[in-house]
Amino acid sequence: MSELRLVPAALAVWAVILVLLIHGSVVLALAGVAVTALILGILGQGGQATMVGASGAAATLVTWDGRRRARAWEPGEQIVGEVAATPVEITGGGHLVRVGVPGLPAPLPVFTDELADGVVSGSRVVVEASLSASDRPGLLGQVGNGDVHPVAGPSGMDAVAHLVRESLGRAVETSVGEASQGLIPGMVLGDTSGQTATDTQLYIDTGLSHLTAVSGANVAIVTTAAVLVCRLLTLGPRVQVGAAAVALAGFVGLVGTEPSVLRASVTGLVGLLAVINSTRMEPIHGLCLAVIGLLLWDPDLAVAYGFALSVAATAGIIALFPLLYRPLARTGWPDILVRAIAVAVAADLVTMPIIALMAGRVSMVSVLANVLVAPAVAPVTVVGLIAAGLSLLPGGLATLPLMIIEPCTWWIHTVATWCADLPNATVPASPAWVLVGYGWVLVGVISGHPLKTAGVVCALFLWAARTDPLPPVVPLESLRVHHVPTVEEVGTAPPGTQVIVVEEGDGRASIRPTVTREGIPVLFPQRDGPVTLHVDGTQHAADGRF
Amino acid sequence: MSATIDRLKDLTRPTGQEQLLDVAYPTPRWTLTLRQGMVAGVLVLLIVGAWVVLQRDPEPAALPVADLPAVAAGPSADPGTDLVVSVVGHVAHPGLVTLAPGARVDDALAAAEPLPEADLLALNRAQRLTDGQQLVVPSVGEAAPPDAGSGGAGAVSLNSADVAELTTLDGVGEATASAIIAHREATGGFTAIDQLMDVKGIGPAKFEALRDQVSL
């Protein structure tokens, strides 16, 4: 934490690109850079002033040039390009396909109603779409709506990655249970297509969704595993670095060269540097280099939440881990637990304001969930990658490693389900409140009172989760009740019905009460357990979910 | 010798307490010397400048046309074969007319010889014909056939419009237009506008956008 010389330059690059993408004024961006450089110069930091000025100017140049190329681009009737990333299914139907088009500085997002077979990452496509202005800031400023027709399949590295995805998906389907089927491809390859929407929401609510994306952590785990194996075999540092490089190449070879993977590789290498070479290459220095390089390479990253979360988590762990570890270690808890808590709190603290800004809701259980799953993550990533490689070979060799990691993924899924069912698992929050609240937690821990802080936090949780004295219950017998066998027949209730009771018990228990469009309460006693109606019109489940 | 090494190892072994010690870490280093700043800044600007200059001259997307899918070629884009159109209504010789590729309504009328009462203003004589099309020649005062003036502000006819006309619709490119025509030929024509949703590439959203712009 002592090598901070590149921090101003990295911040300057990020700020300049943000101003250019959101506000669009080159004059404002350059003026900001000039004023910052001037202030630094007056403070006697001539070198920093030069560096900030130069990197700010470079960022302006790159962004302005990207904008210019995007404006100069004239789309034809058909746009020919290559799919840049795995198509994403959007909630509410349809798919988002990012198509890399020659001459454009960034992939063109195309929304399409139906995803044709063969539109996978790396395949050549012809896009027929009407273009309209995008409401998200970015280099292109436009999105397409229309059809994506595949022309040719993926080639080279993309073809291998596609093959690996398919073969691992098949192996997973035949050998492990339902809870693991969505998790293993997600945690190993970042392929979440096997997850149901409910599962995806479950991992978001519990702060575990970073596990199922290819993140810097994946790369760091894989390369660190290679280094540690070499150390166990008492091999020299050169062999260790070589093994890490081979492991990284193997990882990229199996996962593909999508932009998100390359980005994760760079952040993961920063993590690896922190592990093996922290005395000479300070991790913050490496992170700053990575941020400057990546932002100049792809200015759109400056407005990507994923990138901001990734950088914030890395920086937070580097900067806050020592601060949090020392007071926690004095508690005398097992060292491994203390380390896991310190990492989880450090990452949670810096990412939570960004999540609050992005989603308006934050997870209250993410530290708990992340600490609980921590021991299960590394085995899944490493052994799962081996399984992905073996699944390419005939003979079902992948079954054995998949069976080994199945208890781990089952555990992660169980933890997520349990944590999501806790009261107040997610709460609405604004970034300012998150900063204030978590700031006090940080102050409490650093000032040497981790146990008292934990006690106060737990007390607040319990206070928030307490059950208010409920208004009197309305007995069902006093109401006109209509019983239907399935939820599809709710509409058959005769006029004057006051409560509808659905007899079927399928589906996951709801976390909020159900009413029809007309406001008639709908109860699912078989699915949600006993639910009572109250005189103020509210419903309450017996187990306190709502 | 080995005893000495063992003794040294004993002394240098980690105690597990290092993280707990109140270590005075080196003060954070913020300062860049002017020289370092200049070198690094110039380097960044040079690399970025070179990259921008290289991007400035993008080679045109060299994509062999053969790679394009069949969706690009609609039935009307086939210049090789003669057109057969049906001309009915107020003409001297109603029936099938065989014309050269690229023929227009005027050519079909010349072959079928309109009667004196035929309302030629109701027809766009410059409109290109498609193979298998029916041309209805109304008399003066008779309501114009629904598919007559499809080129202008009116609705585009699903059952008679060609690729070029269909592509005038918002959100319809050549591939979708070809798909509409292929569907028309496969099913024998549209009997309801809703059937547009059966066409590959037209979903509910696109259909809503098209609904008011097309007729049967």
pLDDT tens readout for residues B59-106? 544 444 444 444 443 444 444 567 777 787 778 777 777 777 777 778
* Residue A528 belongs to some domain of the structure: yes
Q: Which two tokens stand for residue B82?
A: 């003669």
Chain B residues 45-84 within an 8 A CB cutoff of chain A: 45, 48-49, 51-52, 55-56, 58, 60-61, 63, 67-69, 71-72
Average confidence (pLDDT) over A125-147:
87
Do A198 and A98 lie in a common domain? no
pLDDT given for residue B83 in this prediction: 75
Task: Please state at what angle helix A305-329 crosses helix A283-297, rounded to 10 degrees.
Answer: 170
Gyration radius of chain B's alpha carbons: 37
- How high is the pLDDT of residue B173? 73
Domain that holds residue A521: 473-541
ipTM: 0.72
CA distance B63 to chain A (A): 8
- B16 near A CB under 8 A: yes
Q: How far apart are CA A138 and CA A453, in angstroms?
A: 42
Tell me whether A131 touches chain B (CB under 8 Å). no
Same domain for A377 and A501, yes or no, is no
Q: Distances in Å between the alpha carbon of A249 and those of A120, A169, A541?
A: 22, 22, 52
Flag whether residue B197 sits within 8 Å of chain A, measured between CB atoms: no
Of B100, B115, B149, which residue sits at a domain end? B149
Average pLDDT, chain A: 86
> Among residues A170, A206, A211, A159, which one has the least CA distance to residue A189?
A211
Task: Identify the domain boundary among A462, A483, A505.
Answer: A462
Same domain, B180 and B144: no
- Number of A:B CB contacts under 8 A? 140
Asked if the structure places residue B36 within a domain, the reply is no
- CATH number for the domain that contains residue B123: 3.10.20
Tens-place pLDDT, residues A60-91:
999 999 998 888 888 777 888 988 888 888 87
Domain co-membership, A446 together with A349 = yes
- Is residue B159 domain-resident? yes
Residues A134 and A185 in one domain: no
- Hey, is A128 helix, strand or coil? strand
At residue B41, does pLDDT exceed 90? yes
Residues of chain B neighbouring A126 (CB-CB closer than 8 A): 68-69, 71-72, 175
CB atoms A54 and B44 under 8 Å: yes
The answer to whether A228 contacts chain B (CB < 8 Å) is no
Residues B116 and B162 occupy one common structural domain = no
Same domain for A389 and A455, yes or no, is yes
DSSP A90: P
| Contacts for A197 with CB less than 8 Å, ≥ 6 apart | A91
Number of domains in chain A: 4
Q: Is residue A249 part of a domain?
A: yes
Q: What is residue B66's predicted lDDT score, i.e. its pLDDT? A: 44
Residue B124 lies in a domain: yes
B55 pLDDT above the threshold of 90: no
* Spatial distance between the Cα atoms of A20 and A27, rounded to a whole number of angstroms: 9
Collect all residues of chain A within an 8 Å Cβ-Cβ radius of residue B15.
none
Same domain, A204 and A136: no
Sign of the torsion formed by the C-alpha atoms of A125, A131, A133 and A134: negative
How is residue A208 written in tokens?
């575990």
Residue with tokens 């259980």: A365
**A19, containing H or E segment:** helix A7-22
- Pairing, β A124-133 against β A142-152: antiparallel
B24 touches chain A (CB under 8 A): no
DSSP string, chain B: -HHHHHHHHHHHS--S-GGGS---PPPPB----HHHHHHHHHHHHHHHHHHHHHHHSPPP----GGGS-GGG--GGG-TTS-EEEEEEESBSS-EEEEE-TT-BHHHHHHHH-B-TTB-GGGS-TTPBP-TT-EEEEPBTTSPPPTTTTTTSSSPEETTT--HHHHTTSTT--HHHHHHHHHHHHHHTS-SSGGGGGGSTT--HHHHHHHGGGEE-
Of A462, A491, A518, the domain-final residue: A462
In the 8-state DSSP scheme, what is residue A212?
G
Region A275-284: mean pLDDT is 68
Both B127 and B178 in one domain: the answer is no
Instruction: Look at residue A239 and tell me if it is in a domain.
Output: yes
Question: Are A257 and A134 in a shared domain?
Answer: no
Asked if residue B171 and residue B134 are part of one domain, the reply reads no
Phi, psi of A146 (to 5 degrees): 170, -145
Same domain, B144 and B80: yes
Residue B203 near chain A (CB below 8 Å): yes
Determine, for residues A152 and B67 on separate chains, whether the beta-carbon distance falls below 8 Å: yes
Using an 8 Å Cβ cutoff, are A118 and A103 in contact? no
**Is there a single domain that holds both residue A276 and residue A423?**
yes
d(CA A241, CA A227): 7
Output DSSP code: residue A103. Answer: T
For the whole model, what pTM was predicted? 0.69
Q: How far apart are CA A503 and CA A489, in angstroms?
A: 11
Q: Clarify whether residues B137 and B165 are in a common domain.
A: no
Contact B49 A61 (CB under 8 A): yes
Contact call for B44 and A55, based on CB within 8 A: yes
Q: Report yes or no on B119 lying in a domain.
A: yes
Do the domain assignments include residue A467? no
A49 vs B19: CB contact, 8 Å cut-off? no
Do B97 and B137 share a domain, yes or no?
A: yes
Shared domain check, B82 and B118: yes
Contact A5 B176 (CB under 8 A): no
Rounded average pLDDT over A374-378: 91
Q: State which residues form the domain around B129.
A: 76-149
Which residues in chain A (95-124) have CB-CB distances under 8 A to chain B?
101-103, 105, 113-114, 124
End residue of a domain, out of B149, B176, B207 = B149
What percent of chain A has a predicted confidence (pLDDT) above 90?
A: 25
User: Is the same domain home to A66 and A84?
Assistant: no
Which chain A residue shows the shortest CA-CA distance from B72?
Answer: A78
For the ranges A262-271, A464-473, B207-216, the lowest mean pLDDT is seen at A464-473
Amino acid occupying residue A196: T
Which of A41, A72, A103 marks a domain boundary?
A72
Domain presence at residue A2 = no
Q: Is position B21 within any domain?
A: no
Domain CATH code at residue B183: 1.10.150.280
Q: Based on the domain organization, do A344 and A442 belong to the same domain?
A: yes
Across chain B, mean pLDDT equals 73
A97 part of a folded domain: yes
Whole-number Å distance between alpha carbons of B141 and A45: 88
Q: Are residues A371 and A323 in the same domain?
A: yes
Phi, psi of A456 (to 5 degrees): -65, -45
In a domain, A162, yes or no: no
pLDDT tier at A197 (50, 70, 90 boundaries)? Answer: confident
Q: Are A325 and A304 in contact (CB under 8 A)?
A: no
Chain B residues closer than 8 Å to A101 by CB: 61
- Over residues A297-335, the pLDDT tens digits come to 999 999 988 889 889 988 998 888 888 888 888 888 888
The answer to the question of residue B53 being in a domain is no
Number of domains making up chain B: 2
B93 and B133 housed in the same domain:
yes
- % of chain A exceeding 70 in pLDDT: 95
> Can you tell me the mean pLDDT for A325-346?
87
**Does A286 lie in the same domain as A430?**
yes
Answer whether residue B116 is part of any domain.
yes
Is pLDDT above 90 for A37? yes
The dihedrals phi and psi of A326, each to the nearest 5 degrees, come to: -60, -50
DSSP category for residue A475 = P
* pLDDT single digits (tens) A455-503: 998 898 888 776 555 667 777 778 888 888 887 777 777 777 888 888 8
pLDDT of residue B148: 40
Alpha helices in A99-236 (DSSP H): 157-175, 178-181, 183-189, 197-205, 216-232
**Among B149, B174, B199, where does a domain finish?**
B149
